[in-house]
Structure 1
Amino acid sequence: MRNTKRKKRTKCWIKEAVFDNAVKAEVSLGNTWSKHYTNYSDIGRKVYYRCRKSKLRGPQCSAGIYLLYHAESDQVSIYKTETDHDHHERKVRGIDENVNKCIEDLFNDGITKPKQIIRALQTRNFELPSYVQIKNFLVQYKKTKFGSYIVSLGESEQWCKQNINISTDENKYFVVSYKIMYNDEEDVDGNKFRVFLSTVRLLNIASISSHIHADATYKLIWQGFPALIIGATDLKKVFHPFGLAICSNEKTKDFKFIFNSIQIGLEKIKKDLLKPSALVSDAADSIKNGFKNVFKDEYNQIMCWSHMKMKVQNRICHIDDKAIADEMMNDIEMLQLSNSSTVFELALTLFMKKEPHVRSRFLVIASNIINNWSIERDPSSTNAKVFPKEPTICLNL
């Protein structure tokens, strides 16, 4: 049988330089070479490097280099092959360095999507990497530029300590209040944290406000946790935030922390404590109870109009007569224009008298349901439903 094993090429090594220590020798290699393997001999340790332009698993570039760490001294000699680089004859793995630099520049200029980057590279006549290559490169570049996506509680606590002092710039943020709770603390089910950020200018707005708006938004999240927003609106319906909180939960204690942080912030900037007369929010008990725990005085509970309107529309859309549904919605919108509780109560009474079908429709539906239930369970009827054998009834109204 014929031996088809490829004959190993012999390399001719030429001494290129001698350095006094290993550090200088290794620095001189630059980014062209990648460590390949190591051999040991009587004269010292030989560390061989390969051309990094070639794939690790595959045909290697003919050029090579090795460092000889002399056994009898600290000197390091560099030996290089006679042959030059021939990696350009083969396909280079990964993205070209010039393309990498261009992608970084595009990302820093705000072009952050892979498809946008591909179009930009086309206009610059670069060799186009694949979509997956660009996507993977962006993941690594973001980690290098912005750091790890996952932040530990210890890192969060350290960041809070570093940013807790009030800046001389009234628009510079600072940590008004924070609380980090670990597993070993009492009454804590898992790690929890609460952080409230604001500025001097935003706290000054809070000091002259009488109505407080509070809610959580999942349109802005950090580490998977929603931002909790607190603020007020002016007569032009413009929202003015007091600050932003990140909490591990949305419970009463979390909103109590937020409302209390406002008071702490006002004390820090030497302003009178907030005495709100109204709370504007959705129907979440956690917001209402947290508000009561901080502001003991009586206040008006105002339902957020957009939340309320959305809930009403979800209910009246089931009314068959669309004209009646539209009229009912218009009347409810008129109720919302009431400028006092007294006017609202009077208008509500008139509304209920005008819309008797609100009650009558429910009574008709309820009567039909009960009637059908009764008929289906008549023992004399065909396929009668026997009570002990029937599953739970679903109320699909």
Structure 2
Amino acid sequence: MKRLATQLLGSRAKPKRIRHDILDKFEPEKGAAPKLSQVQHFIGHYKRTRLKESDFVEDMEILATGLKYYDEIGSIDPFIFGYEVEGGKPTFGDGTDEHPLVVGVSTPFMLKKLSYANEHIVHIDATYKLNQSGYPTIVLGVSDRARSFHPVAIFITSQVTGPIIHKVLVQLFNMYCVLTGELPEIRYCMADADKAQCNAVQSAVALKTRNPEKLVFLMCFFHVVKNVGEHVSKL
């Protein structure tokens, strides 16, 4: 039963659905069937202990401590960065505008892809459906002339605002400098049609990159079409 439950969990099935499938497959005798509360408890424990899926601050602190960046880290070993450190321990914002949550995940191999940003396009995009807790996920990467996308880092944030985009980029550029010993050079940056994002990108690039005067900010084609359509419909 537990094996079936974990398999169904991989397809994002809900506890109630998992319990029904268990009953249909095993047809347990009356009194032997698991209660919904038992299924929920097993799934919650499995997520926390095996999948490391948790939004508890204490669990996040443990995870960040175990995945800190260090000098001898392997090229494909993941590490967490972007958070504040107090007394040698990671601390996370409470999600307010004054103390936003910003947590980045990358590997040395991925982060070094930012070196191609001096010729190719850096992409910044946010989505809200990559984690079960609903936190915004900001994906950053570089695309090349062959139209291949190379992810550089993924950030979990409490909001998607200009100041948070600025902080995300500053943390990313700082981490790149720690890894390579030099600041990146950003030639093109593509993001949403949002003035706050544009200002955040320009301020972060001016602060933490080489040759910031060469930056060209681009709007993604989807937002070009969307905005043109909205303005044309008003004519």
TM-score, normalization: structure 1? 0.46
Q: For residue 156 of structure 2, what is the aligned residue in structure 1?
A: 246
| Partner-residue secondary structure (3-state), 1:221 | coil
Q: For residue 177 of structure 1, what is the aligned residue in structure 2?
A: 82
Structure 2 residue 38 is matched with structure 1 residue 122: no
Shift of residue 177, structure 1, vs aligned partner: 2.4
Shift of residue 168, structure 1, vs aligned partner: 3.1
Q: For residue 163 of structure 1, what is the aligned residue in structure 2?
A: 67
Whether the 8 Å CA contact 1:206–1:242 is kept in 2: the answer is yes
Shift of residue 258, structure 1, vs aligned partner: 1.5
Structure 2 residue 136 is matched with structure 1 residue 226: yes
Structure 2 residue 56 is matched with structure 1 residue 151: yes
| Partner-residue secondary structure (3-state), 2:146 | coil
TM-score, normalization: structure 2? 0.73
1:134-185 deviations in Å (ceiling 9; x for gaps): 4x43321122222384412x553443233222463322210232134668xx
Gaps of 5+ in 2: 85-90, 207-211
The 1:132–1:109 alpha-carbon spacing in structure 2 relative to 1, beyond 3 Å, is: closer
The 1:224–1:116 alpha-carbon spacing in structure 2 relative to 1, beyond 3 Å, is: closer
Whether the 8 Å CA contact 2:83–2:103 is kept in 1: the answer is yes
Whether the 8 Å CA contact 1:226–1:246 is kept in 2: the answer is yes
Aligned length: 210
1:101-158 deviations in Å (ceiling 9; x for gaps): x1x11022345635466456534454489x9944x43321122222384412x55344
Tell which deviates more after alignment, 173-182 or 109-118: 109-118
Whether the 8 Å CA contact 2:55–2:133 is kept in 1: the answer is yes
2:200 maps to a residue whose letter is: G
The 1:282–1:192 alpha-carbon spacing in structure 2 relative to 1, beyond 3 Å, is: closer
Structure 2 residue 188 is matched with structure 1 residue 290: no
**Which structure has the greater CA radius of gyration?**
1
Shift of residue 315, structure 1, vs aligned partner: 5.3
Structure 2 residue 122 is matched with structure 1 residue 217: no
The 1:123–1:177 alpha-carbon spacing in structure 2 relative to 1, beyond 3 Å, is: closer
Whether the 8 Å CA contact 1:281–1:303 is kept in 2: the answer is yes
More helix by share: 2
Structure 2 residue 3 is matched with structure 1 residue 105: yes
In 2, Cα distance between equivalents of 1:236 and 1:125: 54
Q: For residue 220 of structure 2, what is the aligned residue in structure 1?
A: 304
In 2, Cα distance between equivalents of 1:159 and 1:116: 28
Match of 2:109 among 201, 205, 214: 201
| Partner-residue secondary structure (3-state), 2:131 | strand
Shift of residue 276, structure 1, vs aligned partner: 0.7
In 2, Cα distance between equivalents of 1:256 and 1:190: 14
In 2, Cα distance between equivalents of 1:116 and 1:159: 28
1:216-256 deviations in Å (ceiling 9; x for gaps): 11122363321111111122322221101112222222112
2:80 maps to a residue whose letter is: V
The 1:145–1:119 alpha-carbon spacing in structure 2 relative to 1, beyond 3 Å, is: closer
The 1:156–1:125 alpha-carbon spacing in structure 2 relative to 1, beyond 3 Å, is: closer
The 1:126–1:313 alpha-carbon spacing in structure 2 relative to 1, beyond 3 Å, is: farther
Whether the 8 Å CA contact 1:118–1:128 is kept in 2: the answer is no
Gaps of 5+ in 1: 1-101, 319-360, 363-397
In 1, Cα distance between equivalents of 2:136 and 2:7: 28
In 2, Cα distance between equivalents of 1:122 and 1:110: 13
The 1:260–1:310 alpha-carbon spacing in structure 2 relative to 1, beyond 3 Å, is: same
Whether the 8 Å CA contact 2:142–2:152 is kept in 1: the answer is yes
| Partner-residue secondary structure (3-state), 2:159 | coil
